[in-house]
Structure 1
Amino acid sequence: ETQKEQLAGQYKAKTVMFQTTLFLLAWYSLTTTLFQAVQSDVFLSDCKSFFHDAASFLQTFIGWTIDAGQSVAQISTKIPNPFIAGMVYWLFLILVVGICVAGTGILAILIEIKVIELYKKNCWDVITLLMILTSTAVIIYFGEAIKKALSVNLLLLFVLSQGVYLGIRCYLKNRLGTKQYW
């Protein structure tokens, strides 16, 4: 019994040491890759472009939402009292815009939660960590060559590669059952 407890303690100590080493390796890899990313003009310009396009899409979406709210609020023009018509107009505008923005926000949060659940269920392991670090390093270090071959945003390419990876892992896990072959 004492030997069993000693072995369990040794196993736990080795597991903690392995996890600590893995964490430090991941941290080192990530920081050196990010430092390289900061020095890469191609990757930085693609990051700026990616977030600029995302902000532009959000502005367009909010513009459409406000237009829809104003269209619905035009119902208030049929009210003869200008004070009540003004209150109804703003009430409908705020209601429609609020519902659209809140609904979209909730939908985005639910999608994010689902993706996190899929990662935790199917991909929460060392292989995924290595895949993320490797794909990040490849995209950053070979960014100029990739841009010459494909005219695609590097950050978008990274996100798409992670989506494909997640899909393949989910498919394999469901196809092969619960056995882990890696």
Structure 2
Amino acid sequence: LAWYSLTTTLFQAVQSDVLLSDCKSFFHDAASFIQTFIGWTIEVGQSVAQISTKIPNPFIAGMVYWILLILIVGICVAGTGILAIPIEIKVIELYREKCWDVITLLMILTSAAVIIYFGEAIKKALSVNLLLLFVLLQGAYVGLRCYLESYLEKRNY
């Protein structure tokens, strides 16, 4: 039943023009953010690397410029990755620990089906990206579920 629900929901999603356009814009915005972040990182690296202009030898100045640029950009990108990976691991562990059951599967299928089938009506009422709405719904569900679980553990239920 879950497989049938999932496949019919996904087939309906493929036919939904509103959902497909929102998926495209969601991933386009994510790519634009990453490009902007990398652009800012390169600008910072170039600003720091301008120190090399004070070196009189042009060959050494060029080497220092590129070493500083690569060092700054590498530190920024690696730092972001080092911060993002433990956060992702923690979220996955939390999800497996607290929300890995049939209720969560039903919640995912139900929220996906509602967003897919009523996507046009939702877009008329709310000016929000449907894929972002789905992600926010799942985040709210996991947060509420974790809160209720910890609350019930304190009350010995």
Shift of 1:63: 0.4
- Cα separation, 2, equivalents of 1:179 and 1:84: 68
| Aligned with residue 55 of structure 1, among 31, 49, 53 | 31
Distance 1:131-1:180 versus aligned 2 partners, 3 A rule? farther
Residue correspondence of structure 1 range 1-182 to structure 2 within 5 A:
25-177=1-153
Shift of 1:106: 2.2
What value does the CA root-mean-square deviation take over the aligned residues? 1.5
Shift of 1:167: 0.5
Scaled by the length of structure 1, what TM-score is found? 0.82
Moved more, 99-108 or 35-44: 99-108
The percent of aligned pairs where both chains have the same amino acid is 85
- Cα separation, 2, equivalents of 1:167 and 1:132: 14
Unaligned runs of 5+ in 2: none
- Cα separation, 2, equivalents of 1:27 and 1:104: 37
Shift of 1:77: 0.9
Larger Rg belongs to: 1
User: What letter is aligned with 2:126?
Assistant: L
Unaligned runs of 5+ in 1: 1-24
Q: Deviations over 1:64-88 (max 9, x none)?
A: 0000000111111111111111011
Aligned length: 157
Q: Deviations over 1:113-138 (max 9, x none)?
A: 11101101111111011101110111
Distance 1:145-1:180 versus aligned 2 partners, 3 A rule? farther
Considering Cα pairs closer than 8 Å and 6+ residues apart, tell me whether 1 or 2 has the greater RCO: 2
Shift of 1:26: 2.5
Distance 1:178-1:125 versus aligned 2 partners, 3 A rule? farther
Distance 1:126-1:148 versus aligned 2 partners, 3 A rule? same
Moved over 2 A (4+): 25-28, 178-181
User: What letter is aligned with 2:93?
Assistant: E
Scaled by the length of structure 2, what TM-score is found? 0.95
